[in-house]
Amino acid sequence: MSINRLNRNAKISGVAGWLPDYVLTNEELSRMVETSDDWITTRTGIKERRILKDPSKATSDMGANALNKLLNKCNVGADEIDLIICATVTPDMLFPSTACLIADKVGAKNAFGFDLSAACSAFIFALDCASKYISSGQYNKVVVIGADKMSSIVDYNDRQTCVIFGDGAAAVLLEPDDECATGVIDSILKIDGAGGDYLKMIAGGSLNPASLDSVKMGHHFIYQDGKTVFKFAVTKMADVAEQIMKKNNLSGEDVDWLVPHQANLRIIDATANRMNIDSEKVMVNIHKYGNTTAATIPLCLADWEDKLNKGDNLILAAFGGGFTWGAVYLKWSY
Ligand code: UT7
């Protein structure tokens, strides 16, 4: 195989999602913390989220389930995969990487792989990265998995965060499109570490290793300054979506689908407004799954797969902890 053949796109040739069975409703949460279905619905758009209850299962199990489903669907053997990129903020453990664990679980004996950490933007960062490996000519079958067991880092006494997050996973298969007719066309990706203090997990890393104190102080849970994160998310996600449209001469009418990260329905609506696109063209499943972090965008693709047509213009947009944010322009391939 030749390396550095720069004349091919990376197209998505399949997508599959996997969600745990347990449904945590707003009503059940209202019995756990001081909140209400009305507050959660009006402030976030969320009605229910899925939770992985089995304590022996983790992010890699959800990712492996999504990947097995994808491989069956696409009639591709696990040993044919060249590369697995797992986008996650809830790896099973600090190492080995979740990609290694998934490769082992599905039997991807010939794959290279790694995890990509960019919180809620991780899937689009990973998709862009995967597309570069394909367009360089280095690999032909690349899998990008967005998977997060958010329930493992959520404090169910903190009503600011526990109402938002859920668990889930989804995987896409990328292959070359030698005609460059479809696939990943463009991306604008950003980070700003000055935002780090507003959304983080304080302990468990090399700065604050796990200790009795860190556990006592709840530093292994998500800390979020929701108001500040909201303020940045609502402008940055819309900015970047608008920029990628302008860069590619796309009007609101040219865009067939907005595939937004599902953090808050108000952020999604603001982005769609700035892009000047109708609400029927916006993928929204936040009411069913909440914020599954790296899994939101591929879960949308899985839910909408039957409605998509070859050549459809999709704008994927996300914002997350870091801060990280970005947009990808993708032409649907099948
Ligand atoms: O995906 C990664 C990036 N994350 C995001 O994009 C999340 C961005 N942030 C948000 O989505 C929103 O800020 C939240 C959903 C987290 C919070 O919504 P908000 O409209 O910003 O509420 P707030 O934090 O301004 O709080 C308003 C009030 C407060 O009460 P007071 O001070 O007005 O009396 C809160 O204590 O709502 C209270 N509150 C709640 N009440 C009932 C906060 N959480 C809850 C709750 N139930 N779950």
- 3 confidence band (pLDDT: 50, 70, 90): very low
Give the pLDDT confidence score for residue 181 in this predicted structure. Answer: 85
Cα-Cα-Cα-Cα dihedral sign, residues 231, 236, 296, 300: positive
pLDDT at 239 over 60: yes
Residues 193, 175, single domain; the answer is no
Q: Are residues 91 and 167 in the same domain?
A: yes
Q: Give tens-digit pLDDT for 277-321.
A: 999 999 999 999 999 999 999 999 999 999 999 999 999 999 999
pLDDT score at 6: 62
Condensed to tens digits (0 to 9), the pLDDT of residues 168-207 reads: 999 999 999 988 789 999 999 999 999 999 999 999 999 9
Q: In this structure, are 192 and 311 located in the same domain? A: yes
Q: How many CA atoms lie within 13 A of 277 on its CB side?
A: 27
Q: Is the pLDDT of residue 1 over 50?
A: no
Please indicate, yes or no, whether residues 278 and 142 belong to a single structural domain of this protein: no
Protein residue with its CA nearest to atom 18 in ligand 1: 43
Residue nearest to atom 36 of ligand 1 (CA): 160
CATH value at residue 283? 3.40.47.10
- Distance from Cα 149 to the centre of ligand 1, integer Å: 22
208/62 same-domain check: no
Is there a single domain that holds both residue 17 and residue 67? yes
* Alpha carbon 152 to its chain's center: 17
Q: Residues 208, 284: one domain?
A: yes
Q: What is the mean pLDDT of residues 22-26?
A: 98
Residues 260 and 301: their CA atoms lie apart, in Å, by 10
Residue 143 backbone dihedrals phi, psi, to 5 degrees: -110, 130
Instruction: Write out the catalytic residue numbers.
Output: 120, 261, 291
Residue 1 placed within a domain = no
Domain range for 267 is 184-331
Q: What pTM was estimated for this model as a whole?
A: 0.96
Residue 4: inside a domain: no
| Residues 281 and 168 grouped into a single domain | no
Q: How many domains does the chain have?
A: 2
Instruction: Confirm whether 56 is domain-assigned.
Output: yes
Give percent of the chain with pLDDT exceeding 90.
97
Nearest alpha-carbon partner for 264 in 238, 291, 289, 288: 291
Residue 244 has pLDDT above 90, yes or no: yes
User: Are the C-beta atoms of 125 and 316 separated by less than 8 Å?
Assistant: no
Rounded Cα distance between 267 and 258, Å, is 13
| Per-residue pLDDT, 275 | 95
| Integer Cα distance of 131 and 163 in angstroms | 34
40 & 67 share domain: yes
Q: Does 251 reside within a domain?
A: yes
Mark whether 318 and 192 lie in a shared domain.
yes
